[in-house]
């Protein structure tokens, strides 16, 4: 087993250092590890079987639907209306534009289920406006990146679907509902940091709008926000599954973008669908190779060995959970969320259950943890997107990111050690 672990680590990290795409790095590292204990033909056959089996899941059909609906929403003028709604509601508070940025990312993340999409859609509108109002461009980029991670917790979230599959049976509906309180708590914590930062820097406060105009802006955003209630309400009510909810989200987003707002032309739909297909292919390829890696880890009994080793280090559950969090924070800084969830869920979930943590609670903790990795160098994809929009460099936004990192870590600790934050709403709805 020691040789297998060594081969896996050396090949995987060696390929990453050579800038090989992570999907191929995972796949080649897995195949190399298989060849340590399995002959070539059976190893290749097993690899193919495990990759095919990894994506042979009805629940995964929800992912391309939510990706497509998110892309349609992003092009359909939804982001602009959500921003105007947030501006009307909280734009007059200290650090108003930064707060609007956070709330808009929360709204859009809840609709699109993608942190990258939220960063791109909201950042394209908010970053130029914040710069115009005198906000530091690096701080603005940091706020956009951090706020976009809320969409990983506030449903519908593709990564929660992936965790449901990796965990072997946690309800997608329960995970969706469980993500609300942690996601909102994360957003509120970021808003508190933004308000304090605005006071220190003396950033301008927006004008209070007349009540009539506030009502107009909120009313204009209501059709977009209704999708949240449509999708989640249908799932909680047992009207349709998460996969069917994804299909309904596509239909509803088409009605809004093409029919009501008329900001997406019929001729543009083919390009949007091609982009959705491309993104889906990337995600499913990651899931396929990560599933194969999960299998070889299990075949070599690596999760069981690591679990036993962790439980022998200490009997204090608080210390072990902190250790798991620190490892996942490190993993998130170097690995995309999808393979991280598929690979490390079988390793750490048994340890968490042994400590008395429910699989539902662990899933929310894990996704929140890895969300921080999306804005952590060197691999943080959301950080790169935000920097590209702001036309700045990664190293320039790390300093303004520090108080936001601190807020995110505090929320992570609260979610880790207070199960009710994750489990209250699912229990309330009987999920």
Give strand ranges (E) for 263-417: none
How far, CA to CA in Å, does 141 sit from each of 102, 146, 392? 11, 9, 8
H-helix or E-strand spanning residue 32: helix 22-37
| pLDDT (tens place) for every residue of the chain, 431 residues total | 578 778 888 888 888 888 888 888 889 999 998 888 888 898 899 999 999 988 888 878 888 888 888 788 777 677 778 777 887 877 777 777 888 888 888 887 777 777 777 787 788 888 887 888 788 888 889 988 899 898 888 888 888 988 988 888 788 889 999 999 999 999 999 999 988 888 887 777 766 777 788 888 888 888 888 887 888 888 887 888 888 888 888 898 888 888 888 888 888 888 888 988 888 888 888 889 888 888 888 887 777 777 777 777 777 888 889 999 999 998 888 888 888 898 888 889 888 888 889 999 999 999 999 999 888 887 777 888 888 888 888 888 888 899 999 999 999 999 999 999 999 999 888 77
- Of 85, 84, 146, 79, the residue nearest 115 (C-alpha): 146
Is the pTM higher than 0.75? yes
Judged by DSSP in three states, 328 sits in helix
DSSP string, 177-190: HHTHHHHHHHHHHH
Domain residue ranges in the chain: 2-428
């Amino acid at each position: 087993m020691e040789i297998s672990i060594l081969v896996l680590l050396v090949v995987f990290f060696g390929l990453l250092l050579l800038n090989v795409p992570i999907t191929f790095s995972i796949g080649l590292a897995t195949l190399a590890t298989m060849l340590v204990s399995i002959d070539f033909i059976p190893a290749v056959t097993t690899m193919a079987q495990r990759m095919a089996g990894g994506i042979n899941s009805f629940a995964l059909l929800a992912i391309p639907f939510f990706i497509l609906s998110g892309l349609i929403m992003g092009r359909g003028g939804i982001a602009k209306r959500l921003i105007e709604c947030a501006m009307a509601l909280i734009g007059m508070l200290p650090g108003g534009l930064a707060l609007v940025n956070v709330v808009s990312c929360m709204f859009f993340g809840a609709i699109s289920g993608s942190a990258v999409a939220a960063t791109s859609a909201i950042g394209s509108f908010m970053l130029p406006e914040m710069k115009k109002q005198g906000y530091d461009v690096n701080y603005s980029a940091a706020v956009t990146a951090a706020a976009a991670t809320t969409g990983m917790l506030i449903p519908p979230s593709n990564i929660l679907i992936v965790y449901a599959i990796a965990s072997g049976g946690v309800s997608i509906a329960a995970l969706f509902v469980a993500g609300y309180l942690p996601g909102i708590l994360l957003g509120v914590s970021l808003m508190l940091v933004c308000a304090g930062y605005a006071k220190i820097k003396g950033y301008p406060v927006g004008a209070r709008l007349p009540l009539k105009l506030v009502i107009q802006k909120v009313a204009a955003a209501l059709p977009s926000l209704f999708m949240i209630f449509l999708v989640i309400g249908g799932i909680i009510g047992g009207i349709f599954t998460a996969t069917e909810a994804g299909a309904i989200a596509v239909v509803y987003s088409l009605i809004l973008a093409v029919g009501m707002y008329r900001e997406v032309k019929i001729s543009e739909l083919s390009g949007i669908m091609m982009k959705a297909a491309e993104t889906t292919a990337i995600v499913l390829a990651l899931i396929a190779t990560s599933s194969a890696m999960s299998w070889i880890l299990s075949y070599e009994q690596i999760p069981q060995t690591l679990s036993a080793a962790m439980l022998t280090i200490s009997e204090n559950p608080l210390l072990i959970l902190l250790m798991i969090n620190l490892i996942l924070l490190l993993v998130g800084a170097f690995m995309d969320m999808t393979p991280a969830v598929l690979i490390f869920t079988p390793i750490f979930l048994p340890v968490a259950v042994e400590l008395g943590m429910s699989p539902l609670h662990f899933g929310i903790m894990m996704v929140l943890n890895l969300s921080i990795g999306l804005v952590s160098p060197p691999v943080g994809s959301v950080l790169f997107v935000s920097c590209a929009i702001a036309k700045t460099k990664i190293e320039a936004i790390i300093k303004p990111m520090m108080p936001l990192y601190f807020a995110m870590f505090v929320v992570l600790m609260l979610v880790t050690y207070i199960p009710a934050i994750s489990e209250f709403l699912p229990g309330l709805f009987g999920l």
